[in-house]
Structure 1
Amino acid sequence: MASLTRRGARYYVRVYVNGRQREIATKTSCRKVAEKIKQKLEYEQATGILQEATQTPLDELLTNFVAHLRTRLPPKSVNNDISRLRSIFGAIVPALEPARKRPNDRRVLANLPPTILAVSRAEDITTPLINRRLEERAQVVGPKTLNEERAMIHRLLAYAIDFHGMIHPDRRTPNPAAKARRWRVPAPTIRFLTLEQVQEQLKALEDAPTIRTAVAIMIYAGLRRSETLWLQPQDIDRKSRLIRVQAKHVGDESWQPKTRRNRAVPISHDLGAILDEYRVEQNRTRRKTRNRGHDQDQEQVEETCSEQDYKPSHTWLILSPRGQRYDPDNFSQDLATANLRHGLRWTSLHYRHTFGSLLAQRGVSLFKISTMMGNSPEICRRHYAALVPGELLEDVEFT
C-alpha cells in the first residue's frame, strides 16, 4: 500500500519499491490529483511495473554490446557500429579503441572527434542530454550522421534493457533515445552516368578487364561493390540470364547481402557480352599459366563462350592481381588509379546509381527497380522519383 504525505505545498507518495521505502513526488499541490497519482502507483506496485532504477556501468555495457554485435553482424557492419560508439562515448574501453598502424601510434587516438556523452552509467543518459549533445555535434556533422548516432544510442539502450535488465529512473521513457529529436535529412544529390559516359568509362578500362567487368556489373545490374566482389562463377546463370546475389560461406569466411535477403538480377545483352568476353580472357590466362614452363609455340585456339558452356572455374568471379577475392578498398584504389589516367573520377556508388537512374528515366516502375537493386521502395522513391518521365502531365488537367 502507498500513503500520501504533504511537504510544503507539494504532495508526495510513500511507497515500497523492491523492499525499500521511497518518496515519489507528485509535482502537484492539488490533493485530488495527488490521490489519482497514488492510485496509479499502487496499481503499478501490485502488477510489478513499479521497480527501482538499476545502476548499469557503462564500460561493462559497452564491452558486452560490442561482443554481442560481433556474433550477429558481418565484420564491416561491426566496424561501422564501433566507430559510431567511439564517436559517442569515446574509446573508454579496449573494445572501442581504433586499430593502429603501429603499436605506439597515438595519432589515431588524438584525431578522435569530441565525445558526445560523458556518463558513467547507462541510466544517466536522458532524452534532454542526447538532444543537447547532438545539437552541439550538428556543427561538425550532417543530419544523416546525427540520426545514425541517435539510432546507435537507441540500440545500445535497447540491448541494456533486454540483456542487462536496465530500468531507467524516468518510467515515462524506458529508452530515452526513443524520444530524442530526429534530424531532417535533405533530398539526396544523385550523380550518375549517361549512356555516352557509360561507354567512355568501359572504353577507359579496356586494359584492365577484371576491373572493367566489375564496373559493368555495377552499371548494368546495379550491384553494390561488396556484392560484386563476392560473386562466384556459379552465381552467373547465363542460361537463365540471371545474376544471383545470395549469402554464402567460403572456407572460413561468410557473407550475406546488406539487406539480409537473396535476390536475382537479370543480365542484359550488353552485360552478357562483357561477361562472355571476360570469360574468354580468363580461359586464355589459365592456359598461359598452365603451359608456363613448357616449350609450346603452337598458336592456342581461343575458347568460345556460349550460354550453355558457362561453367565455374575459380572460387571468385572478380579476382585480385594475386588471384584472391578482391578487397573492397584495394579495388576502389585500383579503380581510381585506372580512371585517373583518363581524367575520370567516377566511383562504385555512381555506377550503382546509374542503373537505377537510367531505368527510372525509361519508365521502369520504382518497385521493380527496388527489387533488382535490393533496396526498399521508399529509398528508391527518394533517389529516383524525380527522374520518372512526365507521365502524369495529363492527370493535372481539369478538362
Structure 2
Amino acid sequence: MIIYEFKVKAKPAQCRAIDEAIRTSQFIQNKCLRYWMDNKGVNKYELNKHCAVLAAEFSFASELNSMARQASAERAWSAISRFYDNGKRKVKGKKGFPRFKRNCRSVEYKTSGWRLDDNRKAITFTDKKGIGRLKLKGTRDLNFYSLEQIKRVRLVRRADGYYAQFAISVDVRIQSEPTHKVIGLDLGLKYFIAGSDGSVEPVPQFYRKSERQLSRANRKKSKKYSPEKKKEKIPQSKNYHKSRNRYARKHLRVSRQRKEYCKRIAYSVIQSNDLIAYEDLNVKGLVRNRHLSKSISDAGWSIFRQWLEYFGHKYGKATVAVPPHYTSSDCSNCGTRVKKALSTRTHVCPACNYVADRDTNASRNILERGLFTVGHTGNYACGDLPSWSIGVSLLANGESVNQESPLLD
C-alpha cells in the first residue's frame, strides 16, 4: 500500500463543503464511540450498522457518502481495538482508552462517493455535501494504476490548504543488489545517528533554528486574541485567524523539514547496508525529561525509525531493534561495563585502554546485539503493525507515514 498526495485547487464554497464533511466524519466517529461505551460487547460490524441509524436520525449525516460514514466508524473501532490489544499485551501504564475527537482534519472515502476524470488530473465527489470537482496539483501520475487499485481517497485539511490522498494497493517491494555491509546505529542529541563504521550525521535542529520566528508569530497571534470575546462566546476577529494560520504554517514547515531529513537519512542507510541494527527507544518515556524533551522531540527519532522500517521492507533489507540497556556503558572492545555521566562524551575503558567516542562505542554494541539476536519480534515503532503498513486506515489528523517523495523512487 502506497499513498499518493496531491494538493487540491478549491473555491471558497468547496472549502466550506470539505470542512462540513470533516465535521460530519468527526461527529459519526464520536457517536460510534459513545455507542460502544453505552453498549457492552459491540463489535466492528455493529458500529458499521449504527452508521445507518445515524444517517436516518441526522440529515447532515445522510448527506455524507455511506462508505465515508463506515470509514469514520472504522476509525473509532481502530482506537477501540488498540485499547483491547494493549490490555491483552499487558502494556504498562495507561492502556489508551479511546477519546472523543475534537479537531479532526480529514475525511475518508472508500471505493464510492468519488469519480476521477479521464485524464486523472481532477476528482469529483458525488455525495450530497456539495464538494464537487477538485483539480489535483502534483507530480504523481495516477494513470499507472487502475481504479480497482485505489482503495481509499482522503481529503486532508492543513494550514496551507487542502490535500487529496490516494491509498493505492500495490506491492512496494523492490529487488536490490546486496552490499555485504552491516551497521549499528546509535541515535543521539549530539549526532542524529552515529554508525558503527565511524560515520556520523549532525542533528539538524529545525525547531531550534526556527524558534525565534515561531515565538514572534505566536506573540502576534496572542495580541489579536480577545478573552472577552471568548467569555461571551463571540467569534474572534479575522485578523486573529489570519495570524493563527500564519503561525500554523511556520510549524508545518518545520515538521516537513524534519520529516524529509529523516526520510533522506533512512533511505541512504538502507541503500548502503544489508542489515541495520538500531535502538528500541521508548521515546514517549524519554520526552518526560523536562530538560531534554524539546531536543528529543526536535530530533525526530520515531519518524526516522518508521521510515527505516518501511524502506527496509521495500528493498528487502533486515532491520533489527535491540534493547538499548547499557549500550553506552559497555565497552565494545572487551565488554567491561564503564559507568559514565551523560556529559561524558568519550568512552575510556580502564580494563583494555580502549578509547572511542561515546556514540560510536554504543553503535558497535548495538550492532553486536543485532547480529546475535532478532531484536523484539513483533515490536515496531507504531505498535504491533510495522510502520510500512500504516496508511490503510488514516489517522484522524490526516497524517500518513509512508508517503514517498518523488526523489526516493
- TM-score, normalised via structure 1 length: 0.21
Higher strand share: 2
Higher helix share: 1
Q: Which has the larger radius of gyration?
A: 1
